[in-house]
Chains A and B, each alone.
Chain A
């Protein structure tokens, strides 16, 4: 079936460094790719999303890039801060009548002061 693979599963960086999380998807018709941040004990919250007609999108310290040919997209966090520590999930909408959202397994990011 359709799936989304996410790497790495854990990522540890020093405060101020950049962090990159990568995802690949299998459905070539996918056209919407959100990223969610989940802090410990809390709900997933949307931090940025990108649609297939755009190659890159930025919002302050976070950016997402999309390569439709290779079927992969990435989250980039610059100047990381301790409050960026969380689990990050990528997702892709697969084609079909109800536009189902498939999630990656998540990346646990730890930012050390």
Chain B
């Protein structure tokens, strides 16, 4: 089954404690992206990757890092989380241009 898998689904943690949210897709997609979803703001792009070792900032990259060492994986790293990063996060991937993005199930992060 074609899917995008995120882990964990839920996480409550404290300010400053580094965390990583993993994302994996099994569709051999080149393009992957991270979004955060906040009430009234829709989905805002954090980082994206066009291919292995190719990443770039989206609209709200501050406080986040990513890596793309393998085609299927695109982890999101919060080196020093802060309460304003409390949000619902989605990883997505797509194939060629014009193809729809496939979203993971989301990760709800609460930073206390």
Contacts and interface: CB of A to CB of B under 8 A. Distances in A.
Are both chains from one complex? yes
Interface of A: 1, 6, 9, 32, 34, 42-46, 49, 51, 89, 93, 98-101, 103-106
A105 B41 contact: yes
B40 A105 contact: yes
Interface of B: 31, 33, 35, 40-45, 48, 50, 56, 58-59, 90, 97-98, 100-101, 103-106
Nearest to A31: B98
Contacts of A6: 42
B48 A43 contact: no
Contact of A98 (B35, B48, B59, B103): B48
Contact of A46 (B43, B100, B106): B100
B101 A101 contact: yes
B7 to A, nearest CB: 14
Contacts of A103: 35, 42-44
A9 B40 contact: yes
A104 B59 CA distance: 14
A73 to B, nearest CB: 15
A43 B37 CA distance: 11
Contact of B104 (A9, A43, A51): A43
Contacts of B104: 43
A42 B105 contact: yes
A106 B48 contact: no
B53 to A, nearest CB: 15
A43 B104 CA distance: 6
Contacts of A1: 59
A107 B68 CA distance: 33
A100 B48 contact: yes
Contacts of B50: 98
A47 to B, nearest CB: 10
